[in-house]
């Protein structure tokens, strides 16, 4: 069995920790690792790392690979999508990629940002699903509802599938219900939440896509032919220009809408494991440990007389007093305070931030780069102060700036700096100045992280003021 992890989430529901450029699946929401790391970890007992694939947005590709590095994840098993086109196209493209190499492949589809408890039961369910998939079924896992949830689609269980105990025909898929209907579904007992985990043969899903989503299916072979290894170091799969155009021209459809709701091949296996889509901060109530007053607290927090509240701090001190059912989430550049009952509306709040031109809606305070990251620490009328972290062995592009000079001081690790024709080796406490219009490159030649403090001077201090002459990550 092969595994396909869908990691294309956009990251507004867990703002300010998740951002468009740093979405939920790349964050530690419930330990031990980030959500995508936990997803891989959970699958490894069944699917070895060399059989795992992942689709994500091109903006998250490098950070995702960094996070999966320690698992030995194959960088060319990651498809970096040029734009968001929902699950039907992502799954179709993965199936096409697979069938060319492994005509009989069974593939499991796994969202990257869900929490599963009782991993053993999860694996057992997948093994049962694999047997059904081998027979040509589209297997969907259904979660027994525990509340009248209006935020999910439901699957209505039909009669038991002949010869497969614990697997059922699907009577129908239903869209997100209103509260009254959701209550009836809960009482009825044979409606299940659609959790987005599917198992099928690559050949089966392609056949169903051909039948029910011909416009997508007809382009898959061509688009798959446009996949190529990205230039430079990380070497994930990306589309060439033709492929990007084709991909982005196709409709944005979920696999549920495109195939599952139409196909007669679908069977349902009710899940025996705990599941949570952690769709909002309030979902931590179901998946995190609480103190004796029902609070979930992390970070540098002093709480007095608080109840059933979620306080997520970092280094900065948070003092809270007398709160009930309140959510406080801090980040270096933005703070969220809301009531638990409104936590679903954080999504709308982020939309409002974006509409009002607040960059904090999308961009995180620490910006990930192929070579590491940078964090803005301070700024003034004509200076900008950053902490820059360069990963071991990585290097920024050979570049120059038209409008700013830069002053660097090494505060941790060691640096190699190219400035025009000269090369300098800098250690902690060493500094160097890079004048305007001077070709330069910062590199970490060591096996430890390099941290420098950068002070930029100039009247225009803009990330776009950069001319790249050479780059390891194909950004020239």
Contact residues: a copy of itself, CB under 8 A? 15-16, 302, 304-305, 316-324, 326, 328, 330, 333-339, 341-342, 345-346, 348-349, 352-353, 356, 358, 360, 377-378, 380-383, 385, 387, 405, 407, 409, 411-412, 428-429, 431, 433, 451, 453, 455, 457
Q: Which is nearer to a copy of itself, 411 or 460 (CB)?
A: 411
Which residue bears the tokens 């592009």?
397
Q: Which is nearer to a copy of itself, 204 or 326 (CB)?
A: 326
Q: Which is nearer to a copy of itself, 278 or 303 (CB)?
A: 303
Least distance to a copy of itself from the beta carbon of 433, Å? 7
Which contacts (CB < 8 Å, 24+ apart) does range 286-291 have?
287/30, 287/115, 287/117, 288/30
Least distance to a copy of itself from the beta carbon of 412, Å? 6
Q: Which is nearer to a copy of itself, 109 or 280 (CB)?
A: 280
Q: Is 287 exposed, middle or buried (0-12, 13-18, 19+ CB in 10 A)?
A: middle
Least distance to a copy of itself from the beta carbon of 366, Å? 12
φ/ψ of 426, rounded to 5, equals: -115, 140
Sign of the Cα pseudo-torsion (474, 11, 359, 376, in order): negative
φ/ψ of 17, rounded to 5, equals: -75, -45
Least distance to a copy of itself from the beta carbon of 392, Å? 17
DSSP category for residue 396: P
Give the rounded distance of the alpha carbon of 421 from its chain centre. Answer: 41
DSSP category for residue 265: -
Q: Which is nearer to a copy of itself, 57 or 282 (CB)?
A: 282
Least distance to a copy of itself from the beta carbon of 414, Å? 14
Q: Which is nearer to a copy of itself, 45 or 359 (CB)?
A: 359
Q: How many residues does the chain have?
A: 476
Segment holding 298, helix H or strand E:
strand 296-298
Q: Which is nearer to a copy of itself, 319 or 460 (CB)?
A: 319
Residue 299: how many other CB atoms lie within 10 Å: 15
Alpha-carbon distance of 472 to 476, in angstroms, equals 9
CA nearest to 128, candidates 111, 141, 109: 141
CA distances to 202, 382, 431, 432 from 403, rounded to whole Å, are 53, 11, 21, 18
Q: Which is nearer to a copy of itself, 49 or 385 (CB)?
A: 385
Q: Which is nearer to a copy of itself, 176 or 324 (CB)?
A: 324
Least distance to a copy of itself from the beta carbon of 341, Å? 7
Least distance to a copy of itself from the beta carbon of 384, Å? 9
What are 238's strand-pairing partners? 80, 228
Dig out the tokens for 378 from the structure.
């301070």
Least distance to a copy of itself from the beta carbon of 324, Å? 8
Least distance to a copy of itself from the beta carbon of 334, Å? 4
CA nearest to 88, candidates 188, 186, 280, 217: 217
């Amino acid at each position: 069995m092969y595994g396909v992890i869908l990691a294309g989430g956009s990251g507004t529901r867990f703002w300010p920790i998740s951002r468009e450029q740093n979405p939920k699946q790349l964050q530690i929401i419930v330990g031990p690792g980030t959500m995508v790391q936990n997803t891989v970890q959970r699958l490894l007992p069944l699917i070895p790392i060399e059989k795992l694939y992942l689709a994500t947005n091109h903006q998250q590709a490098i950070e995702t690979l960094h996070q999966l590095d320690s698992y030995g994840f194959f960088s060319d098993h990651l498809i970096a999508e040029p734009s968001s086109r929902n699950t039907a196209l992502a799954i179709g493209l993965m199936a096409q990629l697979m069938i060319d190499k492994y005509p009989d492949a069974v593939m499991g589809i796994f969202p990257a940002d869900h929490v599963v408890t009782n991993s053993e039961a999860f694996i057992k369910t997948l093994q049962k699903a694999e047997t059904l998939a081998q027979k040509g079924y589209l297997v969907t896992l259904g979660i027994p509802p525990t509340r009248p949830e209006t935020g999910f689609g439901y699957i209505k269980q039909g009669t038991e599938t002949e010869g497969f105990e614990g697997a059922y025909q699907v009577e129908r898929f239903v869209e997100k219900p209103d509260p009254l209907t959701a209550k009836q579904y809960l009482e009825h007992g044979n409606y299940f939440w659609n959790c987005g985990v599917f198992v099928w043969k690559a050949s089966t899903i392609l056949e169903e896509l051909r039948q029910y989503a011909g416009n997508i299916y007809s382009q898959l072979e061509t688009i798959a032919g446009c996949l190529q290894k990205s230039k430079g170091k990380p070497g994930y799969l990306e589309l060439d220009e033709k492929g990007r155009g084709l991909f982005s021209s196709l409709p944005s459809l979920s696999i549920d809408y495109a195939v599952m709701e139409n196909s007669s091949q679908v069977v349902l296996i009710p899940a025996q494991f705990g599941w949570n889509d952690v769709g909002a901060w309030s979902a931590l109530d179901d998946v995190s440990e609480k103190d004796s007053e029902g609070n979930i607290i992390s970070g540098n927090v002093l709480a007095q007389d608080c109840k059933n509240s979620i306080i997520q701090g970092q280094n900065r001190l948070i003092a809270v007093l007398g709160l009930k059912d309140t959510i406080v989430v801090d980040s270096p550049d933005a703070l969220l305070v809301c009531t638990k009952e409104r936590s679903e509306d954080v999504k709308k709040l982020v939309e409002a931030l974006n509409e009002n031109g607040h960059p904090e809606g999308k961009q995180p305070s620490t910006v990930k780069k192929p070579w590491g990251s940078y964090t803005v620490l301070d700024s003034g009328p004509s200076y900008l102060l950053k902490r820059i972290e360069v990963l071991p062995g990585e290097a920024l592009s050979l570049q120059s700036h038209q409008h700013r000079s830069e002053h660097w001081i090494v505060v941790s690790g060691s640096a190699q700096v190219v400035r025009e024709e000269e090369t300098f080796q800098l250690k902690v406490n060493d500094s160097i100045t890079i004048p305007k219009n001077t070709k330069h490159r910062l590199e970490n030649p060591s096996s430890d992280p390099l941290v420098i403090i950068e002070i930029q001077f100039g009247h225009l201090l803009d990330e776009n003021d950069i001319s790249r002459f050479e780059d390891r990550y194909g950004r020239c």
